[in-house]
Amino acid sequence: MMFKGRVGGISDDGLGMLKVGGRKFYVPFAYPGDVVQVWKAKRRFGRRIALDFEVIDESPLRHGARCPHFGTCGGCLWQGLKYKEQLRLKAKIFERITGVKAEIKSSPKIWGFRNVSNFIVITSGIGLKGYGNPLGVVNLRECPVFSKRTQGYLRALRGFLKETGLRPWNPREKSGEIHYLQIREGKFTGEVMVTLIAHVKPSNEILKAFNDHFSQADSIYWSLKVDGRDDPRGEAGLIAGKPYIRERVKDVTYFLHPNSFFQTNSYALPLLLKAVEGSTDGERVLDLYSGVGTFGVWLAKRGFKVEGVELNPFAVGMANRNAELNGVDSIFRVGKAEETPIRDYDTVIVDPPRKGLKEAAELLVKSGVEKVIYVSCNPKAFKLDYERHLKGVYHIDGAILIDMFPHTPHVEAVVELVKKE
Ligand SMILES: C[S@@+](CC[C@H](N)C(=O)[O-])C[C@H]1O[C@@H](n2cnc3c(N)ncnc32)[C@H](O)[C@@H]1O
């Protein structure tokens, strides 16, 4: 069976939408205006996703992708789209989902901007996950959104595996020793942290070999993974160099550690921080879901009195360390957002995980606080929180989108909520 037609729109998750007769197809790596021929599709969560297809006439919105892995790698669905079109479509999707029209700010750099990469190491290859194939991998040669040094990192890893005989993880059999290689680069400090996520404790010889292969790094960790889950998380132990590397964002320096979340685009981060700062009113600020203190420390440096609350004790330790490093006296403590009494703050910043605020939204509604800044990379979760809870008390006073994630359909939103009269 073959279906042919012109892509008429883009789905909320960035797939080209094609209607042929009564059928609707969702086509990855295809954009409005492309003429596409689909030979094979598969139903997934109620949608027909094109599996075998060809773009036979290219949309004027396209340009050549820089990466040789574009079209198979799951990292960059939109690399074939001109950057200005990416921005336009992100704002359009955000408005369609939330009903909010917002200006979008472009990322100052669209290549080499990511400060972290998690390379999966499995029997079928070493690299990044393939699009739509959770068990597959794209055997990576380069990654232009991450670093010019990608090839060197991967060469060092391959050399290490060859020398030690350690085996890549086998996801089907759940066997093997090495599962991920995480690299973090401080883009403004030049510092590099290398973490190997492994299922075995290393011998001294193995540690020495790993150090030798990554001798250029400033910080080297071995992270022991005790579960078979497919994520780059383990118990990280320093094996050489410094325990932290640093990233500098304008006048603020942040420590980075293998186990702590940090915003992935160092170049667009000042735009995000300035958008939050520009919306912050008064003096007393609560940074809820504060992570390593990214917003809180920045604001404290500008004279705001900041308290932060965060679930992850490790991140809280990092946040307090970041406050000290920058000479500010903001305080971060461990707590659940949904159990945090909110009073006497002029502004509350919330930056919840992808699932949104859930119960914490009710606390905000009861708090009486005048200004809430909702930071979100998931417009659907924001929409739900707003419609179900916040709308009764707050109106939307404005929103800014920051493109933290070039070449993907994702965007970071900073939404300003002001208490209704
Ligand atoms: C999207 S990250 C934001 C971190 C920080 N604002 C930043 O920009 O680096 C969300 C944070 O919420 C934390 N978190 C998740 N559930 C939480 C909860 N119920 N209460 C407080 N913090 C929570 C996570 O540990 C994570 O650090």
Neighbouring-strand partners of residue 332: 308
Determine contact, residues 366/69, Cβ cutoff 8 Å.
Answer: no
What is the arithmetic mean of pLDDT over 197-213?
Answer: 97
Same domain, 290 and 233: no
pLDDT of 7 above 80? yes
- The rounded distance, in Å, linking the Cα atoms of 374 and 381 is 11
Last residue in a domain, options 204, 219, 248: 248
Same domain, 188 and 236: yes
Same domain, 238 and 290: no
Same domain, 185 and 320: no
**Beta carbon of 160 within 6 Å of any ligand 1 atom:** no
CATH of the domain at 39: 2.40.50.140
- Domain span at residue 179 reads 116-248
Q: Where do the DSSP E strands lie in 177-330? A: 178-185, 192-198, 219-224, 235-241, 245-249, 252-256, 284-288, 305-310
Q: Does a structural domain hold residue 98?
A: no
CATH of the domain at 313: 3.40.50.150
Q: Sort 339 into a burial class: Cβ within 10 Å, 0-12 / 13-18 / 19+.
A: exposed
Q: Does a structural domain hold residue 54?
A: yes
Same domain, 174 and 270: no
What is the arithmetic mean of pLDDT over 8-32?
Answer: 96
Cα(384) to centroid(ligand 1), Å: 18
Neighbouring-strand partners of residue 339: none
CATH of the domain at 123: 2.40.50.1070
pLDDT in the model for residue 133 = 77
Same domain, 143 and 194: yes
Mutation test of ligand 1: which of 289, 312, 354, 374 has the most ligand atoms closer than 8 Å to its C-beta? 289
Q: Does a structural domain hold residue 68?
A: no
* Whether residue 143 lies in the annotated active site: no
**For 107-120, what is each residue's pLDDT tens digit?**
999 999 999 999 99
Same domain, 280 and 368: yes
Same domain, 244 and 179: yes
* Token pair listed for 385: 């929180």
Measuring CA to CA, which residue among 154, 163, 158, 72 is closest to residue 119? 154
Same domain, 319 and 405: yes
The residues, ordered by sequence, that sit 6+ positions from 28 with a Cβ below 8 Å of its Cβ are: 15, 16, 49, 50, 77, 131, 132
Same domain, 313 and 281: yes
**For 302-359, what is each residue's pLDDT tens digit?**
999 999 999 999 999 999 999 999 999 999 999 999 999 898 999 999 999 999 998 9
| Protein residue closest via CA to atom 2 of ligand 1 | 353
Enter the pTM of the model.
Answer: 0.96
List helix spans (H) across 114-244: 150-164, 204-213
Q: What's the one-letter identity of residue 136?
A: G
Q: Does a structural domain hold residue 77?
A: no
pLDDT of 21 above 90? no
| Protein residue closest via CA to atom 1 of ligand 1 | 353
Neighbouring-strand partners of residue 401: 104, 413
- The rounded distance, in Å, linking the Cα atoms of 287 and 308 is 4
Average pLDDT, the chain: 96
pLDDT of 99 above 80? yes
**Beta carbon of 292 within 6 Å of any ligand 1 atom:** yes
Ligand 1 atom with least separation from CA of 262: 9
**Beta carbon of 381 within 6 Å of any ligand 1 atom:** no
How many structural domains are present in the chain?
Answer: 3
